[in-house]
């Protein structure tokens, strides 16, 4: 990957040295984890392999019961969680009661299947969410030790909306500390492992949810995304994940709570599923009154879309895109040409090289990140805590402490440099907005590499630039799985559309799900 000619020499040198160190470290990690992966047991219940909308249909038509589906989920969670450590708290007893009530509503015949479809389209369908989205009566730790006894007093808006449509929340999945890193690990619940290779990461911050969905532990999941926290775990775990357009889905009930309307616009709550057809109906419920803005039920002809793509963002300190991912993207481009006569246009948007600088600056607030970790979050206190971590005496993860230290520096809110990055964001948003119009989609890597080994992200920390920049710009984006790499790890791309054109992303995801096979059962990869 070539850096822009305007990149300072010092940064070019740092970029080169980082690539060398990362390559050497990769050899170490591969030797350390050699033959250490654990294979998951096969999925024994076929119902877990079906789309959520099909599970719901079968429950309404008495072909299966909600109890049967829930019991299959519980069994699957118990079968895989010792290997994956993705599921951290259950409400099985209450869920079983709700499943019995759902089955009784179907049995008594007071409502026809069509009426149930209109009023409770996900009646009796079990789902899960990450441990930072409030579920009444369950913990809401966000992976922070000081919050390990905190119990949510009410459901987050998205959970309430889904439950009102008949879905049954069955538990919580693991997250990184403060939900601000792309490997899922904290000092309450530990580290989560990838279903395709347990020596690899699951991404973050919706990493536990990504792993559980890939392993078919619940029928669908809910994640949140401020820098790629839905799309990266979906990518690493070979599932579909959608970050909605800005300000469409309510963020109420999440922790940490966005500090301002501006930061709130970067954060999106969205569905994580094994099947593309589930994304739209789940999003429609979650969007509530804002669903009208998305025109989700307006037909989309993929063959009439304008398609653009870019393979590398050329951002400093970011890895070049893996050849397997590049090949997968080009196969999509070829498929579109053969199937729909679409000639996708390759782009080289130079402003994307500033993705991380824009994201870090735009996300800056007057509240220090360290305040989520400790009362005194000054330099000396954080450095002291880092030393405590090294000797195993800290409640905080090392990456969270480094993040807190870095956050004390950087650009200051309302400084001239801060304002310049706001302006750059506006310029980039306009470039993409003008390009996409109302009938365009942009194909872009979700991440430059397949899932890394545990702890390896610290040496490739800026690789989330491909997803993070889309949060700043407020566009909808969907991760689409495209098979497995040569190492047997999931790969894919994200598809991006203009504001409130989520339906284009979702239609494109459904098209590629059918064409490229979508989700692959993890045990089949070994």
306 is catalytic: no
CA–CA separation, 84 vs 483, rounded Å? Answer: 21
List the catalytic residue out of 193, 218, 229, 250: 229
User: Is 92 exposed, middle or buried, given 0-12, 13-18 or 19+ CB atoms closer than 10 A?
Assistant: middle
d(CA 218, CA 271): 13
Calculate the alpha carbon distances from 197 to 192, 204, 228, 388 in Å. Answer: 11, 16, 21, 31
CB-count exposure of residue 260 (10 Å: 0-12, 13-18, 19+): exposed
**Neighbouring residues of 415: CB distance < 8 A, sequence distance ≥ 6:** none
How far, rounded to the nearest angstrom, does the alpha carbon of residue 225 sit from its chain's CA centroid?
6
Q: Given 58, 120, 130, 243, which residue is catalytic? A: 130
Rounded to an integer, what distance in angstroms lies between the CA atom of residue 80 and that of residue 159?
25
Contacts of 451 (CB under 8 A, 6+ apart): 194, 196, 197, 200, 201, 202, 203, 236, 237, 489, 490
Q: Are 485 and 436 in contact (CB under 8 A)?
A: no
Around Cβ 98, how many Cβ atoms within 10 Å?
21
Query: Of residues 193, 205, 218, 265, which has the active-site annotation?
Result: 205
Q: Is the dihedral of CA 436, 221, 130, 196 positive or negative?
A: negative
257 is catalytic: no
Backbone CA torsion sign across 52, 57, 63, 64: positive
Active site residue 355: no
395: how many CB neighbours lie within 10 A of its CB?
18
Q: Is residue 68 helix, strand or coil?
A: helix
CA distances from 237 to 14, 179, 267, 284, 499 (A): 31, 18, 21, 24, 27
Catalytic residues: 130, 205, 229
């Amino acid at each position: 990957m070539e850096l822009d000619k305007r990149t300072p020499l010092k940064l070019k040198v740092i970029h080169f040295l980082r690539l060398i160190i990362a390559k050497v470290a990769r050899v170490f990690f591969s030797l350390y984890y050699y033959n250490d992966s654990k294979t998951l047991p096969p999925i024994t219940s076929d119902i877990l392999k079906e789309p959520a909308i099909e599970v719901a249909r079968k429950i309404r038509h008495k072909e299966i019961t909600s109890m049967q589906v829930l019991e299959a989920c519980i069994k699957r969670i118990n079968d895989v969680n010792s290997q994956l450590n993705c599921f951290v708290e259950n409400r099985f007893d209450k869920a079983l009661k709700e499943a019995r009530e759902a089955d009784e509503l179907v049995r008594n015949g007071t409502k026809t299947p069509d009426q149930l479809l209109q009023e409770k389209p996900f009646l009796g369908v079990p789902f899960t969410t990450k441990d930072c989205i409030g579920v009444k009566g369950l913990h809401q730790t966000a992976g922070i030790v000081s919050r390990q006894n905190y119990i949510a007093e009410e459901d987050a808006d998205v959970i309430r909306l889904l439950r009102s449509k008949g879905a049954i929340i069955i538990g919580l999945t693991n997250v990184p500390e403060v939900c601000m890193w792309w490997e899922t690990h904290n000092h309450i619940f530990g580290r989560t492992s990838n279903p395709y290779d347990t020596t690899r990461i699951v991404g973050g911050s919706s990493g536990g949810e990504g792993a559980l969905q890939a392993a078919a532990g619940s029928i669908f999941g809910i994640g949140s995304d401020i820098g790629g926290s839905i799309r990266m775990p979906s990518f690493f775990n070979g599932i579909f994940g959608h970050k909605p357009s800005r300000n469409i889905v309510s963020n109420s009930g999440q922790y940490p709570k966005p500090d301002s309307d501006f930061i709130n616009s970067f954060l999106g709550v969205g569905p994580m599923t094994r099947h593309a057809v589930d994304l739209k109906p789940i999003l429609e419920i979650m969007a509530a009154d804002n669903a009208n803005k998305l025109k989700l039920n307006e037909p989309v002809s993929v063959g009439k879309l304008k398609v653009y793509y870019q393979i590398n963002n050329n951002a400093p300190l970011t890895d070049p895109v893996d050849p397997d991912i590049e090949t997968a993207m080009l196969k999509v481009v070829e498929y579109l040409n053969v199937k729909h006569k679409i000639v996708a246009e390759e782009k080289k948007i130079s402003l994307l090289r500033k993705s991380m600088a824009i994201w870090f600056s735009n996300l800056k607030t007057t509240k220090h990140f360290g305040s989520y970790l400790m009362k005194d979050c000054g330099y000396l206190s954080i450095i002291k805590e880092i030393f405590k971590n090294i000797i195993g005496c800290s409640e905080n993860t090392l990456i969270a402490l480094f993040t807190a230290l870095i956050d004390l520096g950087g650009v200051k809110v309302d400084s001239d440099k801060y304002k310049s990055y706001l302006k750059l964001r506006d310029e980039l948003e306009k470039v993409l907005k003008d390009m996409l119009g109302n009938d365009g989609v942009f194909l872009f890597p979700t991440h430059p590499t397949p899932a890394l080994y545990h702890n390896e992200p610290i040496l490739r920390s800026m690789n989330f630039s491909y997803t993070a920049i889309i949060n700043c710009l407020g566009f909808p984006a969907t991760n689409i799985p495209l098979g497995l790499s040569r190492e047997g790890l999931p790969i894919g791309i994200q598809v991006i559309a203009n504001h409130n054109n989520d339906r284009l992303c979702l239609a494109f995801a459904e098209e590629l799900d059918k064409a490229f096979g979508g989700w692959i059962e993890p045990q089949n990869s070994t």
